[in-house]
Amino acid sequence: MPQNTVTNWFGNIISHPAVIVDANSVDDIVRILKNPAQYPSPVRAVGSNHSTAPCGVAERGTLLRMKMNRTLNLTADSLTVEAGALHLDLAKALEAKNLQFYINTEIGSLSAGSAACAGTKDASMPGEYGQVGSYITGVKMVLPNGELLEVTEAQQPDLMKQIRCSYGTFGVIYEVTYKIRPLLPMHVHHETFTLEEFVAQLPALRARNNSMFFYIFPFDDKITIEFRRYNPAATGFPDHVAWGLRNFFWGSAGPKFGHDVTAQVENLAIRYGILDAFNAGWRFKLETLVQGDYTIPGDQIIHYPAQSDDSRYTFSLFAFPEDTYAVAITDFFHFVRDYYAHTGYRSNLLYVGYWILKDQQALLSYSYDGNVMTIDPVSTANPGWEEFLTAYNQFCSDRNGVPLLNQTFGLTPAIVQKAYGDRLTTMQTARRKYDPTNRLLNDYFRILMG
């Protein structure tokens, strides 16, 4: 049987599907799933294949690339699209109609199908969820036996909560309906704190009732917070420059600089001195340039090229209960410094974090039990990255951190079971009901979900 070589968007997760096929219609998906002789298992459907975990791996199986991307229906409060439609394209189309998503998450190449059944992360706006899927109200999918199934939040709320975290193991989603809202002006600004200041002021910071996204600099003992809130009273013209600057440095120039300095400067003290100076300049730009009372929410979304280049970066994630975050982040500052002292490894970019409100819209939500705050290493995968993540995973699990199955690299069954407990068992049982022959189950999910 012929094999192909496929990587995720970043390029570090490699698989060899026997068959690669494009899905341009529902009939294509039905034909593929009903013909295991020609299209062997596992069948995995992908959009941009941006996951940092092996979700889209179809080793010796069938990789289904979703090409269906039409907008099917748009009203004042809902948007229905095909599963291959991309988040950035949809956000721009909504903006033209004075509409917006509830969650304008950073990765613009997020496909609707992935958003409907996989975890995402974004700092919660006041009183709102932080995951794109929590505002998806319905899906249509092809089951592993080729039958069609429609599920809506109104008619099957419990099943919808399972599908939002099924990672394509129940069926192949081909149509998605979002809950949307009128376009609102948004305020943004940044402030920097030392770790001691951050810990001391954390209750007061939460009480501001702003969205909070953290830029974390353990080797400088600083945390810069991006504060966002809707500002319907804003007047004048929207500022499109602030987010453009942020996206340029965060999504392109910063990773490119980290990659090049790592490749060209061998001496660690000099290398990280240069990178720390760059990060100091980055903090200054955030505080002075990335601010405004009237910005557009969709401008936060970053356009990533279809094929990654030297400006690419990767990341991982664990979420911690907000009440224990002060201890977790303090321990983390000590952990990365000690790890660097003993191994010579540290990330060549920075670390980030999100404040995310309690969310039970997905059964495997990482904020299911309450508000959480995350610690997310970011890197160009400089040598030693994967070994660092092994230690990071254990550090986080020891402090009751909760990972994301599609955005946390190097997970083990023990870590996942500890994090999700009985909810994972419920998902295992539900998955078997829809896919008793494991048509859609790759080795990654077989090991982690059973």
Per-residue pLDDT of the chain in tens (450 residues, 90 and over written 9): 557 999 999 999 999 999 999 999 999 999 999 999 999 999 999 999 999 999 999 999 999 999 999 999 999 999 999 999 999 999 999 999 999 999 999 999 999 999 999 999 999 999 999 999 999 999 999 999 999 999 999 999 999 999 999 999 999 999 999 999 999 999 999 999 999 999 999 999 999 999 999 999 999 999 999 999 999 999 999 999 999 999 999 999 999 999 999 999 999 999 999 999 999 999 999 999 999 999 999 999 999 999 999 999 999 999 999 999 999 999 999 999 999 999 999 999 999 999 999 999 999 999 999 999 999 999 999 999 999 999 999 999 999 999 999 999 999 999 999 999 999 999 999 999 999 999 999 999 999 986
Q: Which of 217, 231, 242 is nearest to 186 (CA)?
A: 231
Same domain, 81 and 222: no
Same domain as 276, residue 143: no
Question: Which tokens belong to 90?
Answer: 């949809």
> In Å, how far are 359, 361, 375, 416, 449 from 421, measured between CA atoms?
17, 17, 21, 8, 11
Q: Is the separation of the CB atoms in 56 and 64 below 8 Å?
A: no
- CA 427/CA 351 separation, integer angstroms: 31
Centre a 10 Å sphere on the Cβ of residue 50 and count the other Cβ atoms it contains.
Answer: 22
Question: Which residues, in sequence order, are CB contacts of 18 under 8 Å at separation 6+?
Answer: 1, 2, 3, 4, 40, 60, 61, 62
Residues 253 and 298 in one domain: yes
**pTM across the whole model:** 0.96
What letter would DSSP give residue 301?
Answer: P
In a domain, 315, yes or no: yes
In a domain, residue 424? The reply is no
Q: Is 307 helix (H, G, I), strand (E, B) or coil?
A: coil
In a domain, 435, yes or no: no
Give SS3 for 28.
helix
Residue type, 307: Q
Determine the residue type at 153.
E
Residues 296 and 192 occupy one common structural domain: yes
Q: What angle (nearest 5°) sits at the alpha carbon of residue 232, between those of residues 227 and 238?
A: 75
Q: Is residue 447 part of a domain?
A: no
Domain count, the chain: 3
Q: Are residues 47 and 119 in the same domain?
A: no
Whole-angstrom Cα distance, residue 216 to residue 350?
A: 6
Are 257 and 246 within one domain? yes
**Domain, as residue range, for 76:** 71-183
Name the CA radius of gyration of the chain, rounded: 21
Q: End of a domain among 24, 43, 66?
A: 66
Locate 201 and state its tokens. 């002021």
Q: Is residue 405 part of a domain?
A: yes
C-alpha 10/C-alpha 53 separation (Å) is: 11
- Tell me, yes or no, whether 354 and 299 share the same domain: yes
Which domain CATH number covers 38? Answer: 3.30.43.10
Measured CA to CA, the distance from residue 190 to residue 167 in angstroms comes to 34
The CATH number of the domain where 104 resides is what? 3.30.465.10
φ, ψ for residue 224 (rounded to 5)? -100, 130
Contact at 8 Å (CB) between 74 and 138? no
Measure the CA angle with vertex 82, ends 77 and 85; round to 5°.
90
